[in-house]
Amino acid sequence: MAGYHPYRNLRLPPNAPFELRPSPGKGWGAFATRLIHRGEVILRENPLFVIPGPNVTDKSLWQAFLGLSQDQQQQFSYIRNNSSTLFTDMIQAMSQNHFTVVDDNPVTAQLHLLGFFVLQSRFNHSCLPNSTTPAAPTYTVTRYATRPIFAGDEITFSYTPDLKFMVRQERHRALRFVCTCSACQVSTPNRIGIPHQTVSDQRRVLIRGLQYLVSGQDPVLKRRHGPVEDMAVPPLFFDLAKKREAESLRIPLSAKFIAVLLYAALLEEEDILDDHMLNIMRPNSLRIAHRFRTRSNIAIVRHVWAQSTWAIRFWYALFYLWNKTDAADP
Ligand SMILES: [Zn+2]
């Protein structure tokens, strides 16, 4: 039948602000059917089933499937891979339709649980996403708009949080496909005429280096479960003494404060600083601000914090605090 696709049978919640339809080059995607405001909930969904991961077996997936109601099995049967063909096995179906879920039960909270999501898995990736599914202590996955999404726009999200620390080629290796968002398209100029992609790569190397500097760990390598030999690590540190200082958490407070402000400013400039990240960033940077003990530094920090944007805060901190020692330094 012309125009038929099993996704037309998937049940969306009543009043869902999106529809499913083909997305050129990406199979199918989800598109806004009206203006969705920043912070608005786009979709709350419970998994069809949850199983312990990260590695799953065909047998455990079949068991989970057989435990579903007939109606749920039917919803499951509508799911296709990106080229709209049937999955060849259950593991492949799971790998492309799962989200990590969190349990607030103290016994199982430490398990790496994977939920199978029929609708949340229909949203495509972008390195400059307009939605996010922040972790919450529940099996329900909730998707929020991170910026206004206009009717007709595709709704996207970043497949994993690590991707913000990677340059274009690393992201494509990790994603196992070539993303065509404007952070990945080489030719798209930004508002001052420089290709966004070139600047984006430089920004993301800096973002990763700053995270390393502040936390003492490479944010990409520390999260990898499997082998890392295919990960080309860009030179995050030119100064090995600094690298050692970072890894033993001996960074002076002023340098740490400047690094955190620059980190936020770069995320904002890259256009990936959403409200959920801000809810983590703001208290984190305030905690660092509150640690200063030298009177003159405290006055500067107050002045820095009173500024209106992360970029201005960064410049003020750089100007007044660069190389300053503090009584609270490690
Ligand atoms: Zn991309």
What pLDDT, on the 0 to 100 scale, is given for residue 227? 45
- Same domain for 19 and 155, yes or no, is yes
Measure 164 CA to ligand 1 centroid, in angstroms: 10
- Same domain for 127 and 65, yes or no, is yes
What pLDDT, on the 0 to 100 scale, is given for residue 91? 92
| 263 within some domain | yes
Measure 186 CA to ligand 1 centroid, in angstroms: 10
Measure 76 CA to ligand 1 centroid, in angstroms: 28
What pLDDT, on the 0 to 100 scale, is given for residue 226? 47
What pLDDT, on the 0 to 100 scale, is given for residue 105? 74
Measure 129 CA to ligand 1 centroid, in angstroms: 9
**Minimal CA–CA distance to 58: which of 87, 78, 99?**
87
What pLDDT, on the 0 to 100 scale, is given for residue 83? 74
Measure 180 CA to ligand 1 centroid, in angstroms: 5
CA distance 65 to 186: 43
Measure 202 CA to ligand 1 centroid, in angstroms: 15
| 169 within some domain | no
Measure 41 CA to ligand 1 centroid, in angstroms: 23
Measure 320 CA to ligand 1 centroid, in angstroms: 37
CA distance 164 to 225: 18
Measure 6 CA to ligand 1 centroid, in angstroms: 28
| 189 within some domain | no
Measure 183 CA to ligand 1 centroid, in angstroms: 5
- C-beta of residue 183 within 8 angstroms of C-beta of residue 196: yes
| 186 within some domain | no
Determine the structural domain holding residue 112 and report its residue range: 6-159
Measure 288 CA to ligand 1 centroid, in angstroms: 32
Domain boundary among 159, 178, 207: 159
- Same domain for 143 and 235, yes or no, is no
* Ramachandran class of 329: left when φ > 0, alpha when ψ lies in -120 to 50, beta otherwise: beta
- Same domain for 10 and 154, yes or no, is yes
Residue 47 Cα distances to 74, 115, 121, 184, angstroms: 14, 5, 11, 31
| 224 within some domain | yes
Domain total of the chain = 2
Measure 19 CA to ligand 1 centroid, in angstroms: 22
- Same domain for 110 and 206, yes or no, is no
Measure 179 CA to ligand 1 centroid, in angstroms: 4
Domain boundary among 134, 159, 184: 159
| 180 within some domain | no
| 236: three-class secondary structure by DSSP | coil
What pLDDT, on the 0 to 100 scale, is given for residue 108? 66
- Same domain for 152 and 276, yes or no, is no
Measure 109 CA to ligand 1 centroid, in angstroms: 32
Measure 168 CA to ligand 1 centroid, in angstroms: 7
Measure 126 CA to ligand 1 centroid, in angstroms: 5
CATH code of the domain in which 78 resides = 2.170.270.10
Query: For each successive 10 residues of the chain (330 residues), what is the average pLDDT?
Result: 78 96 92 97 96 89 95 93 83 92 74 92 96 91 97 96 91 92 82 80 91 86 54 58 78 92 94 92 94 97 95 96 93
**Minimal CA–CA distance to 166: which of 152, 184, 141, 185?**
184
| 168 within some domain | no
- Same domain for 23 and 150, yes or no, is yes
Give pairs for 241-245: CB < 8 Å, separation 24+. Answer: 242/213, 243/212
Measure 64 CA to ligand 1 centroid, in angstroms: 34
- Same domain for 212 and 146, yes or no, is no
- Same domain for 21 and 134, yes or no, is yes
- Same domain for 200 and 257, yes or no, is yes
Measure 175 CA to ligand 1 centroid, in angstroms: 10
What pLDDT, on the 0 to 100 scale, is given for residue 109? 65
Burial class (CB in 10 A: 0-12, 13-18, 19+), 191: exposed
| 115 within some domain | yes
- Same domain for 118 and 247, yes or no, is no
What pLDDT, on the 0 to 100 scale, is given for residue 198? 81
Domain boundary among 143, 159, 175: 159
- Same domain for 69 and 146, yes or no, is yes
